[in-house]
Structure 1
Amino acid sequence: MFQDSGFNSIAYKEKVRLISGFSLNIYLRKVLFLLCILCCTQAVIAQSDESSTSEVKAIFDRFSQYRHQNKVDKAIEAMDEATNIAEKNEDTKLLVDTYHQLARLFIEEGDIEGALGYYAQSGQYLKEMSYPYAEAFQLYLDAAFRFQEGNNFQALKSLQEARKISNNRNLGNNILLLEAYIYTNITNYDDAIKNLHALIVNADDKERAFLATKANLQLSRISVTLNDYEEGIIHSKAALELALKYGFAKETKIAYEQLSEIYADQENYSESLFYTQKLGSIKDSIFNLEKLMLESNIADKTQLEHLQSEMNKLQAQNEELSESKNRSEITAILTSAFLTIISLLAVSLFRNNQIKLKTNDLLYTKNKELELARDAAVSAMEAKTNFLSTVTHELRTPLYAVTGLTHLLLEENPADHQKEHLKSLKFSGEYLLNFINDILQINKIDADKLEPLNIEFKLHKVLEDVVESLQQNAHERQTKLVLDYDSKIPNQLLGDPIKLSQIFMNLVGNALKFTKNGKVEVIAKMLTKEDNQVKLYFEVRDNGIGISEDQQLSIFDSFEQGSVQINREYGGTGLGLTIVKSLLGLFGSTIHLESELGHGSSFFFELDLEYETKISETINFELDEGEFQFKGLHILIVEDNKINQVITKKMLTKKEITCDIANNGNEAIDLAKENHYDAILMDIHMPGISGEEATRQIRKFNLEIPIIALTAISLDDSLDSFYEAGCNDVVTKPFKPEIFYQKIGENIFRSRMQGSV
């Protein structure tokens, strides 16, 4: 039995062993099978994640390309795809990234309101998660908003905080660019230039060319601000080359605009016109109204879709809360009310955007019409200005012959009946000359060609000369003309005696015209005197016919004389007071008027002038015409017009002055080298080299000889340029003989007296 029992026991153990081995084998197979399934599942999931990541990267790459090329509609559509993927995968980080990119795009397009919406939404998500790159980008956007508002230093602070949180290369480069813009705003050009040069050579794997283009454009702006136009052209052309190569539409437009403006500032109008035409050729194709409306519609649609998505999430949360037994009914009601308000706001936003689109369309059309009208007006004004300048300049040459020959004939003792005719001719010539001068003066004022001088002069002599020159007019009107001059006024002042003389000639001449059997006073008083500056009070007062209150409102307008009756009775052009008002504007002063019909008028103003304290006021080089000893002087006349040569020579011969004649600037230089002259009368406008250039050449070998410029001055002529060339004085043609002789005597004999002193 034991043997049986022993046998049976051994068989049982073997059987158990076999069964156990078989079970373990099955178990191991199951485990291996499950491990295979798990591995395959993980591989599939990993492959799916990798595929999703690759798709998102491709979308962001497309977005960057569209953004750089100013294809805003396509860029928004690309981000819309990314948003859908983020919501499908419940990927909050990706959603924040898309909102950030859309916010930056909207800032660049000037839609701050839309950008703030995405900025706020991304901010809400960031409160519930840890994402350093997105937190840094949020600070970057905050800096961009503050920069738009003009809060430059707060913007810089946000950028510094962003740089501490993330070291992402692309974000760092964009921070450098925004910093450069801010530094430029606060005129910290050194740091701005440093940042921009770093961006030009950047190694950014996403936006290398785009950032370099932006940097070149900003460097060009800074260079122009610093008056380095050549550097500005270099950077603008570099930006243009990159923009054209990579299709950066907006940057291409900006580069064309900058080059056009720079060349215009340099008066290189052919190059400026070339880039203006290039600009015009791309504007219509890239920046047209239809494109702007399409982009606006897509932007609004995207915002509404994102808003709807947020509403759906709130709705889902509301349903969850409603199903929960721990939520009260009041919470559900409040949530529903909140959703209703959000819905109403969404509808309102959509309607407002539609209204905004229509308004923008209307404004765009009206702006285009206004631009066309403005361009037409500017062209018309330039044409009028150039025409009047040409006409007034051309009239001076024959008028010089008329006035000059009239003077010569009056000097030759004509018969009494001839003398009356010649005096009438002289009066008509002088009247026509004054009218031409007024037209040229107004023309220069309209074209912004007038600038005040700042030279030493004696105010008392300027006013005395004005009063003396108009005494004959006062005598004919049986009117007393007096000068009331404050002796406390410094003798030597710094300013523009020519324009001051014009102001008083017009004011006093105007007062005399409307005053008969009365009195005209010219008053000059000193109000204050501090350091090297004085405040002076001037007044021209008369007791003539006066001006009504209605007429006072328009008396300073061009061609206004109060009424048609006044114009017919007293004559004149009505430009005198307009010229006075404009000339005083150059000095920062304003003309004031007090008047009453039948009791006269008072024109008064104040002027701030500098005075020279170091100049000795005891030496006086002024001479009267009677003291000049013209006999024996030898003068060079430089004049290309044969009639003018004859007239000028005869006028000099009357004073026993001998002369040589040079027909152009080159002859003048040669004669000045070979001969000795007491003075040179230099015509400015001549064929070949101009009078200015001839004067410069003469000054290289003769610094002492007085050179007096004779010119039928035009719109583009500047007295400053005559003096800078080396002229001692300027006489405008046609001129009064007494002024002509006075200028010659003063410049020849003053230099001799100064030399002896």
Structure 2
Amino acid sequence: MPTQIRYYIIKIFLICCFFGFSQTTEHLENTQIKDSIDKYLTNASRSIDKASLQPALSNIINAKELAVLKQDKIYIAKTNMILAKLYRELGDLKKAEQQILDAIAFQEEDNDEYMLSCSYTIYGSIAIKLKKYNTALKTLEKALILTRKNKIKDQEGIIKLNLGLLELAQEQPELAILHFNSGLPIIHSFDQYYYKAKLYTNKAKAQLLLNKPNEAKQTNDLAMEIGKEMNYSEIQSECFGLYSQIYEKKQEYPTALRNLRAHEKIKDSLFNTNKEIIAQEAGAKLNLNEHNVLIEELTEENIQQQRSLKLGRLTTILSIALITILSLLTLSLYKNNNLRARANELLQNKNTELILAKENAERASEAKVQFLSTITHELRTPLYAVTGLTHLLLEESPTPNQKEHLNSLKFSGEYLLSLINNILDLNKLEANKVEIENTSFNLKKRINDVLIALGKSAKDRNNNFHYEFDESIPSKLKGDPLKISQILINLIGNSIKFTQNGDIWIRVKKISQIENRISLNFEIEDNGVGISEKKQLTIFENFTQGSVQINRKFGGTGLGLSIVKNLLSLMDSEIKLESEPDKGSKFLFDLEFEIFEDKSPNYIEEAKKIDHNLMIDKYILVVEDNKINQLITRKILEKNKIKCDVADNGDIAVAKAKENNFDLILMDIHMPGISGIEATKQIRIFNKDIPIIALTAVTLDDNLDEFYDNGFNDIIPKPYKTEEFFTKLHKALTKSQTTF
């Protein structure tokens, strides 16, 4: 073939130049040879994925010849790694294992962590086929550690695919599906089509083992679609085999038989018939014992003689090939121009597809944010009714049985609100919309407040807190106290949930202090149920818990630890975990703070108590379109001897504000007619002093400036705690009195 002739002529020409040119030219040739090896190995890997084993073997042979010629250990190891993949597909698992172990030995000696992560992954897949399951698990875990350490993101999805295959081989389909679902987004993001198709076929196998033939068919359809589009013969064969099993499960035997025949046809014609021939050819052509080539023992005279002989032979060959080179040059240029034109056209088409995909992804992201904002408002509004009515009923002297039911209702409402807030927090963290504050605070008091807040939960489960705080830590630090509270609430709350009749230790120690910067270590330890080593790899992922049984027993959504991980990452830190089943868990992280220097020595922080007498007979306008919410807010106010009037919408609110002298206005945002923001703007035209507080279920994080800019004095998000509600009312009324 012309392409092969051109290749051999160019190869001869490059080798000739190696003997004739200067040191600089020799360096350039070495670079070109290494590029050629990389190209051969890339083509070989792609051919293996498509079950085209003959082209894969040809490319590996070419790469091996060049690697041994240059005596380059790095490239010999790379070649052994791809050769191991080939032997794995040929079914010669012993040779596959031998080749990958040779590659790993080279790479460990060279400390090449990137290539080691790839080799460990391939060895893991071979060990699974050899049923060496412990070896497979250890090797894949090593690969996962290296990928995360070196941020080799494109390799992580393949490792999780193989972890799924390991669970599937051990007849653990549920665990296999967890790994497949975890790896799918990564594989999809890097357009790793072969591994994506492989993941779908094995996920379908797991679903079939769980007796879910309909789900298995849907998953297998996705694999077949990729197999046909990318011309992966092996994938198509495997999909037909799976269809046969699925339809057999459904008792549709004719369809099952047709798919089985299609599976056997592809398998025989494109794969199995060539295996023996290719294996023999591989054994013959790759019997290159590179370890026995001892260049150090050759004398300089022998090297020069070898070079002279080679140069003489190559000169003769070149003189014969020169005419062929010139005659093929024109044809080669013509074909290259055609190929380049076709490649440019394909690139333009792909670029257009990528732009469309990017636009679709952006629209999907916007839709997700809008959906979360809308659904949050819709959930908070009825939740306000639940918590508000529960508060009112608890204050009306219920019977003991009624009080017990009302307390259960109150707990359920607070749990639902916590779940909504967790989902919103996670969404903001993933969208990079969370900013770190830098304000002064008392860390010891902040942790005490968290422990007080969680004290009842701990007491209900008969747990004891042990708080150890390094007294050498300065009393005032600068940082983000809210984020720290959120991290500690999630971690301590997690320990409370998974510990019964036990102990929980909270430790804060100073690591170092340089000038006005201090580093602290935080530890949260419990003696609860603990976490297995296998589950520790996934425990910080979204919606992940130790197991289905743990979820059923202890409840929860699996979002708390994911939020902790994301918050610490935002603060340039990371969470560490030490745990053993039935012995408890320890979570550790480090944070750096600035030491706050308070320049006002006589400053005393005093907690202001609410003076309820100040609010008696105050006249408040409640602007709310929901009748139940009107009733709740009105009853809460009137129980505290506050006069009330109600407006059903923004237009009525503006009219009543003109006609009456209200002391304060509570303004809803979303109402029929004009919104609460527009109503506030109109009121501010004729009354700039009256306090107006937004009483709303809207998600506020991204809109705070908009509220204050349009005339609101404060914001109370629904549902609220009654104490916080009256604290903000008292603050607003106190300020208005001072103004007057």
Question: Structure 2 length normalisation: TM-score?
Answer: 0.49
Question: Structure 1 length normalisation: TM-score?
Answer: 0.48
